[in-house]
Structure 1
Amino acid sequence: MITISLCMIVKNEENVIARCLDSIENFVDEIIIVDTGSTDTTKEIAKGYTDKIFDFKWINDFSVARNYSYSKATMDYILWLDADDVILEEDRRKFKELKQTLDPTVDIVMMKYNVGLDQYNKPTLSYYRERLSRRINNYRWHEPVHEYLELNGKIVNSDICITHKNEGTSSYDRNLSIYEQIISRGKKLSVRGLYYYARELYYHQRYDDAIEYFTKFLDTEMGWVEDNIYACYHLSVCYEYKNDRTNMLNALLRSFKYDNPRAEICCQFGQYYMEASNYESAIVWYTLATQLKKPTDNWGFILHDYWGFIPSIQLCVCYARVGNMQKAIEYNDKAAELKPNDPYVVHNRRYFEACLAI
């Protein structure tokens, strides 16, 4: 059976760190906490789980801090978590089994990261991350923000999920600020940096700036295919907010350069035609979204609602607008199978009941 070092970098996580450690402490052989400047009781709480607590001066570079934490590990494999991550009960069972059965020649284990949850605690956004890595390979973290561990060797996908439960402890502007400090010093962002800086601009509703950097990223022609597709998706949303329909359409069409249609892209096409009251064309795209098979081992971002709920609820609206109430009710029922108490589902159901009562 393999041994595991848990390595974490933390700062002011007193509200969440115990929850995280409680969920994993029985499955790791060593817990290493690197504190980057806490002023609350984070370190005192951590002392209840480990004596391997190290202070590290924060220099606005996540990769440097993570590499320092990895340098303290002594077990066969290293696992990383953020303080607001947890491993839920079903995944703890799977984790225990993985630890007992993992082939020791495996270099990296990818695990799904559920970073957004709906009111039913179902994931709305997930993607794979490199969670478990063989220590002897001396893997290194790269990039100051949205850091990543280099991937090489024997890599396997696991069905274990790490669940992110954000309690609002992190600074909303931190990542954006780090990127802008890099730029202000005259340094160029990497290709990956261009993409993630654009995402930060997008989330801060700086759509003109986001458009500029998503475009710069795509124009490098060096991005990972999954990042290229989602850059096109976010570009289309930026242009939608700006009411620039021509470029919204062009961004969506550009995504086909990289791979087959994704449900997120198809739903954006549907939105494009709905905004023009072209419901027949919208139906084509939303229907296609319902027919696509959701990726299971894809390492890229998956916005789960676009692979079921959103196209169903939008098809309900589209069919109602063209006067096909039977199909409208059918798709509202399909949406209800996924989210039975969603406000849109409930509203539509009441609307149909009122129509049928007339």
Structure 2
Amino acid sequence: MISLCMIVRDEEAVLGRCLASVAPVVDEIVIVDTGSTDGTKAIAASYGARIFDFEWTDDFAAARNFAFDQATGDWLMWLDADDVLPDPEREKFAAFKARMPDHADAVLMPYWLAFDQAGRPTASARRCRLVRRGRGFRWRGRVHEYLDITGAHVIAVDIGIAHLRAVRDHSERNLRIYERIAAETGGLKGRDLFHYANELADVGRFAEAADAYRAFLAEPVGYREDKVAASLRLADCCRRLNDPAGQIDALLRSFRFDAPHAEVCCALGAWFEEAGDWRTAAYWYERALDAPLPEGWLGVVNHACRTWLPHARICVCFGRMGRWEDAARHNEAALAWLPDDEGLKANRRILEEKLQGGA
């Protein structure tokens, strides 16, 4: 038996879509409402949900743990209101549910965060979506909370959850919570410091964000996923602050925490491309094509950096160097991923003219 556990507030625009996608494969729906003033509860009730009120205290983990405590199923699943279990994935979920292994305590699933025009995921991560209730796993963190599955026997399945983000900006709320935590504890550290830096960057406070990222990267411990992401985001802050030296230093700093990632290699390629060093730029884009996804990686993956983007940029670099055949080869490789892209098709015509003219 699977209990879906959700926390919601004023989600009438998206909750029905979410519940319609997942209700056929769960056995219980627990909705914890933290203060809705719209039709959220009525929508939840129409799907047979058990609805509970929870006084909001600026603590997401507390609300999620309360939702877990109300569930009665053997397994606990969580979603946000703007998440969806797409049709093909729902069929895979139903098949997995029928044969869930006895030895597993926690289940990781892909989390699709962005999509192209054809609906294909362009960015994804992995999240723990299911845990065995009897193990008593708990949520940690007042904001940007995480499910602590220390000691779990974890398995991963290829069943994607789509995040169809509602157009709502929560950065100011999250910054307020983090500033309250800092006032109470004497300062932020660890994951709180990392996510505080993210929120600062998201609202355009790039200098403050850069300082916070540097402080986080200087800490001796931390998940490699967060350290690599912080290096990339620090580099972006430096770019926006017109600090190219700080930008490349941040990118190279990521190598302290893991082998070169495709996302970092593409950012390095872009840095050298901006500097007009086409050969070195092409080198780093080629390394992006070579970079494997590290085993067990839970962080965000930008699929473009591992598919069409390096080829498209190598095409530009080789074109700048007059290497038309090589440029055409990489443009065709990019087109294999994006066959309808008008820019790539225009490149094809230009390159064909160059090759036919004996350039």
The TM-score range, normalised by the shorter chain, is: over 0.9
Letter in 1 for 2:103: T
Checking the alignment, whether the CA contact within 8 Å between 1:114 and 1:163 is kept in structure 2 is yes
Is 1:315 equivalent to 2:314 in the alignment? Answer: yes
Distance in structure 2 (CA, Å) of the matches to 1:169 and 1:264: 27
Checking the alignment, whether the CA contact within 8 Å between 2:171 and 2:199 is kept in structure 1 is no
Checking the alignment, whether the CA contact within 8 Å between 1:115 and 1:163 is kept in structure 2 is yes
Aligned to 1:305: 304
Query: Where does the alignment leave 5 or more consecutive residues of structure 1 unmatched?
Result: none
Aligned to 1:46: 44
1:75 to partner: Cα distance: 0.7
1:356 to partner: Cα distance: 5.8
Aligned to 1:214: 213
Change (3 A) 1:250 1:171: closer
Higher alpha-carbon deviation: 342-351 or 129-138: 342-351
Aligned to 1:134: 132
Checking the alignment, whether the CA contact within 8 Å between 1:32 and 1:50 is kept in structure 2 is no
Q: TM-score, normalised by structure 1?
A: 0.94
Letter in 1 for 2:84: V
Letter in 2 for 1:215: R
Aligned to 2:249: 250
The equivalences for 1:183-262 within 5 A come to 183-185=182-184, 187-262=186-261
Query: Where does the alignment leave 5 or more consecutive residues of structure 2 unmatched?
Result: none
Q: CA-to-partner distance for each residue in 1:236-277, whole Å, 9 max, x for gaps? A: 121122221211121112111122111111111111111110
1:61 to partner: Cα distance: 1.2
Distance in structure 2 (CA, Å) of the matches to 1:201 and 1:304: 25
Q: CA-to-partner distance for each residue in 1:60-116, whole Å, 9 max, x for gaps? A: 111111011011011101000001100112211111111111123311111111111
Distance in structure 2 (CA, Å) of the matches to 1:28 and 1:305: 34
Checking the alignment, whether the CA contact within 8 Å between 1:61 and 1:144 is kept in structure 2 is yes
1:190 to partner: Cα distance: 3.6
Higher alpha-carbon deviation: 49-58 or 280-289: 49-58
Q: TM-score, normalised by structure 2?
A: 0.94
1:123 to partner: Cα distance: 1.4
Aligned to 2:88: 90
Distance in structure 1 (CA, Å) of the matches to 2:327 and 2:112: 31
Distance in structure 2 (CA, Å) of the matches to 1:319 and 1:306: 18
> SS at 2:4's partner residue?
strand
The equivalences for 1:110-149 within 5 A come to 110-149=108-147
Aligned pair count? 356
Distance in structure 1 (CA, Å) of the matches to 2:350 and 2:44: 53
Higher alpha-carbon deviation: 278-287 or 338-347: 338-347
> SS at 2:90's partner residue?
helix
Higher alpha-carbon deviation: 186-195 or 28-37: 186-195
The equivalences for 1:166-177 within 5 A come to 166-169=165-168, 171-177=170-176
Distance in structure 2 (CA, Å) of the matches to 1:189 and 1:141: 19
The equivalences for 1:266-345 within 5 A come to 266-295=265-294, 297-345=296-344
> SS at 2:119's partner residue?
coil
Checking the alignment, whether the CA contact within 8 Å between 2:189 and 2:216 is kept in structure 1 is no
Is 1:106 equivalent to 2:104 in the alignment? Answer: yes
Distance in structure 2 (CA, Å) of the matches to 1:342 and 1:183: 47
1:344 to partner: Cα distance: 3.2
